A and B are shown apart, each in its own frame.
Chain A
Amino acid sequence: MDDNNFKRELSELIPHLRAFARNLCSDATQADDLAQETLMRAWKARESYQEGTNLKAWCFTILRNTFYSEKRRSWRRQPLDPEVAEATLVSNDNPSDSMELLALRNALNELPDDQREALILVGAGGLPYEEVAEICGCAVGTIKSRVNRARNALAVIMESNSVGFNSDSSMSASEAFDDLIAQADSLSGSTPA
């Protein structure tokens, strides 16, 4: 692929690089730093990219390797400063909604690395298992089981953390309400009268 085409296709992937990085890193500045580093590495390595293969998966592999190889650059495992973390989320009209997303980001950070990345790529990025397996360098079955374990762990973390919210905010009420609705919806279809 010539440089101009490569540059164009690479720049179309920037939003995805940022989104993947944002969900791996604990704050937005670090995430963009990681995404930019990835962009530069991808550019420098462009000769080794095989045209016709999946450029997004190729770039995600670079991003992931960069993330794991440069631990010292504090991309990872920063304790989450609530204010910073909140600023990381885009402004949202619904305050309880963004509180929930903040709680989810916190919970994600508690997951082991391998489970977190699998869940981000499959659950958030919507990539097929096969691609994620390629990016993470492991078997498809491994990814499936990591995603399952991550989902279960996340549910448990969210559950236990929400206990803390219950006492003081209106959010817990709306959350409980949503849950009831969802419960009612799914019950109505399946229970015998």
Chain B
Amino acid sequence: MEKSREDSVAQRARQRRLGLQLRQLYDDVISEEIPDDFLRLLEEADKSSEATSGRAGGDNASSSQPEK
């Protein structure tokens, strides 16, 4: 009886530790700097959708109307 009680306490301790390590795996990535590619991709996607939809709302919306 005593033994199994100790086991389950040890098991809970290990589970707690596992939980902390899981968080660390995730949080380590969160705290990394975002690679430039990501923001560049998003900027390019935004620009190309402005160009095709023609709703740039900015100063150079008039000139670029694709032929296709």
A, B co-complexed = yes
On A, residues with C-beta under 8 Å from B are: 3, 7, 10-11, 14-16, 18-20, 22-23, 32, 35-36, 39-40, 43-44, 89-90, 100-101, 104-105, 119-120, 123-126, 151, 154-155, 158, 178-179, 182-183, 185-187, 190
B11 touches A155 (CB 8 A): yes
Tell me if B18 and A154 are in contact (CB < 8 A): yes
CB pair A101–B21 under 8 Å, yes or no, is: yes
B34 x A104 contact (CB < 8 A): no
Q: Which residues of chain B have a CB within 8 Å of any CB of chain A?
A: 6, 9-19, 21-32, 34-35, 37-39, 41-42, 45-46, 49-50
Instruction: Tell me the bound Cα distance from A151 to B12 in angstroms.
Output: 11
Partner of B42, one of A19, A39, A119, A178: A39
Q: Which listed residue (B9, B25, B27) contacts A104, Cβ 8 A?
A: B25
Q: Is the interface of B mostly helix, strand, loop or mixed?
A: helix
Taking A7-B46, A39-B42 as contacts, is the C-beta distance between A15 and B9 under 8 angstroms? no
| SS of A interface (majority) | helix
A39 & B29 in contact (Cβ 8 Å cutoff): no
Q: How far is the CB of B64 from chain A (nearest CB, A)?
A: 17
Contact between A179 and B13 (Cβ–Cβ < 8 Å)? yes
Structural contact, A19 and B26, CB atoms closer than 8 A: yes
